[in-house]
Amino acid sequence: MQPDRWFGVGFAQGSEPGAGARAAGDALLHGDAKLLVVFCSQSHDLEALLRQIRTRAEGVPLIGCTTAGEIAIAGPSDASVVVTALGGDGFAAGTAVATNASQNLRGAGACVARCLPDRDDLPHKVLLLLTDGLAGDQQEIVRGAHGVLGAAVPLVGGCAGDDLKMTRTFQFSGDRVLTDSVVAAGIASAAPLGIGVRHGWRRAGEPMLVTGSAGNQVFTLDDRPALDVYLERVGIDEPAHLDQEWLARLALTHPFGLSRPQGEEQVRFISGGDLAERSLSCIAAVPPGALVWVMEGDAQSVLEATGAACGDSLAALGGRRPLGMFAFDCVARRGVLGEAGIAAEIGRLTATAPGVPVAGFYTYGEIARTRGLRGFHNQTLVVLSVA
């Protein structure tokens, strides 16, 4: 007999012939799949990869995106493909896509939120969002989805990557390869779904006043060009040929901390800037008048946050053993840990629930809204455990 709920993960190196078909075949533990979720490097022939996956699971709803590295139970990897399948009568799923998202990010979030199945017999629900983090203020997508679903339905997910090129990311919906899009899967389950969120960063140095910004662009800090002030605070000499990739890699380990009302502290991923006007670009909004500061972390603080996020996620299952786990891990944390450290991090994640399949990717931003309006994070690990 087939189980009423199952969660399978398949993994294949990108260099393998038929990598998509192999990963999909390994993920499809049974014949009644309700949803496929695909994470892969943008170095693949993406349309061909989706066709391979479709040969193993024709007609099954599918969402996915490109990454800045992939995560599976075997550990972190690059240029690979990870396919997750959820199935059984204890799950129901609906999918949706909003294209040209940058023109109306809040509208895009509202549009895809309507895919959540309306099943009273499956009371545990979550909206899984995969977005183009280069399209603008991602918090607007969260606001749009929250406006449709309200406070009762948690949101979780991450921003697609492009191997740190910071130029163009891709999202998948069915057999389509898209950019500037939001894709979503509304999941309803007979058993609990648990979310954990931790970052592991701390303040470094004195705060700076945002004296000029618009949306996710920061023009001036303390009435001086933002890029100049940022480089001074980090203590890094500007290279002769400064470019977006260099700036993004520097910012991986030196994000902004942002002071918010009620003493809340957020982290902002700096994705690049306008090198002529000396401004900075963030993945989410930095309002004028806000206090910001450079943040720092180390391997110990990041790994402690990994254990805490996993623990919080599992605790929300009420003692049930998870069928599987999704991990949305900021690429900045990868920059702090290094190659040996990210292997240790995934080892710590999988050790919290031995033998449980894990799928995820390194993101340009993370989504986790379990209460309140705020649900977009940077430099953070978000874990979704599925019981």
Do 273 and 160 sit in the same domain of this protein?
A: no
Tokens of 239: 């290279």
Do 69 and 168 sit in the same domain of this protein?
A: yes
Per-residue confidence band for 101, with pLDDT thresholds at 50, 70 and 90: very high
Q: Which 8-state DSSP code applies to residue 60?
A: S
How high is the pLDDT of residue 55?
94
How high is the pLDDT of residue 86?
98
Q: Which residues pair with 224 in a beta bridge?
A: 221
Round to whole Å and give the CA distance between 83 and 8: 8
Do 79 and 134 sit in the same domain of this protein?
A: yes
Report pLDDT digits (tens) over 117-159: 999 999 999 999 999 999 988 989 999 999 999 999 999 999 9
How high is the pLDDT of residue 372?
63
16 vs 111: which has the higher pLDDT: 111
Question: Is residue 118 packed enough to be buried (19+ CB in 10 Å), middle (13-18) or exposed (0-12)?
Answer: exposed
Do 78 and 38 sit in the same domain of this protein?
A: yes
- The verdict on residue 249 lying in a domain is yes
Do 86 and 175 sit in the same domain of this protein?
A: yes
Q: Is the pLDDT of residue 47 over 70?
A: yes
- Amino acid of residue 302: V
Do 212 and 315 sit in the same domain of this protein?
A: no
How high is the pLDDT of residue 263?
53
Of 242, 267, 295, the residue at which a domain comes to its end is: 295
Do 249 and 166 sit in the same domain of this protein?
A: no
End-to-end Cα, the chain, rounded Å:
19
- The verdict on residue 90 lying in a domain is yes
Round to whole Å and give the CA distance between 72 and 296: 27
Q: Can you tell me the mean pLDDT for 324-344? A: 87
- The verdict on residue 29 lying in a domain is yes
Secondary structure, 3-state, 244-257: HHHHHHHHHCCCEE
pTM, rounded to two decimals? 0.86
Of 248, 266, 295, the residue at which a domain comes to its end is: 295
Q: Is the pLDDT of residue 106 over 80?
A: yes
- The verdict on residue 237 lying in a domain is yes
Total Cβ atoms within 10 A of residue 214: 12
Report pLDDT digits (tens) over 208-255: 999 999 988 999 999 999 999 999 999 988 888 888 878 888 887 888
Per-residue confidence band for 96, with pLDDT thresholds at 50, 70 and 90: very high
Of 245, 261, 295, the residue at which a domain comes to its end is: 295
Q: Number of folded domains in the chain?
A: 2
Round to whole Å and give the CA distance between 249 and 271: 9
How high is the pLDDT of residue 1?
67
Mean pLDDT rounded to a whole number for the chain: 92
Report pLDDT digits (tens) over 346-361: 888 888 899 999 999 9
Tokens of 354: 């031995």
Q: Can you tell me the mean pLDDT for 68-74? A: 91
Report pLDDT digits (tens) over 359-370: 999 999 999 988
Report pLDDT digits (tens) over 373-385: 678 887 789 999 9
Question: Which of 301, 316, 317 shows the shortest CA–CA distance to 380?
Answer: 301
Round to whole Å and give the CA distance between 308 and 381: 10
Tokens of 93: 């799923």
Q: What percentage of the chain carries pLDDT values higher than 70? A: 98
Do 191 and 207 sit in the same domain of this protein?
A: no
- The verdict on residue 111 lying in a domain is yes
Do 257 and 233 sit in the same domain of this protein?
A: yes
Round to whole Å and give the CA distance between 44 and 56: 18
How high is the pLDDT of residue 229?
96
How high is the pLDDT of residue 119?
95
Domain range for 258 is 202-295
108-117, 244-253, 280-289, 313-322: least confidently modelled range? 244-253
Do 46 and 169 sit in the same domain of this protein?
A: yes
Tokens of 177: 């390869």
Measured torsion, CA atoms of residues 344, 82, 331, 172, in degrees rounded to the nearest 10? -170
1-5, 158-162, 371-375: least confidently modelled range? 371-375
Q: Do the Cβ atoms of 378 and 283 come closer than 8 Å?
A: yes
Q: Do the Cβ atoms of 304 and 343 come closer than 8 Å?
A: no
Q: Do the Cβ atoms of 77 and 69 come closer than 8 Å?
A: yes
Do 250 and 265 sit in the same domain of this protein?
A: yes
Q: What percentage of the chain carries pLDDT values higher than 90? A: 67
Do 187 and 67 sit in the same domain of this protein?
A: yes
How high is the pLDDT of residue 14?
79
201-210, 279-288, 321-330, 366-375: least confidently modelled range? 366-375
How high is the pLDDT of residue 214?
94
4 vs 200: which has the higher pLDDT: 4
Q: Is the pLDDT of residue 105 over 90?
A: yes
SS3 of 146, please? helix
- The verdict on residue 290 lying in a domain is yes
How high is the pLDDT of residue 269?
81
Work out the angle between the directed axes of helices 331-351 and 244-252 (0-180°, nearest 10): 40
- The verdict on residue 127 lying in a domain is yes
Q: Can you tell me the mean pLDDT for 253-274? A: 78
- The verdict on residue 1 lying in a domain is no
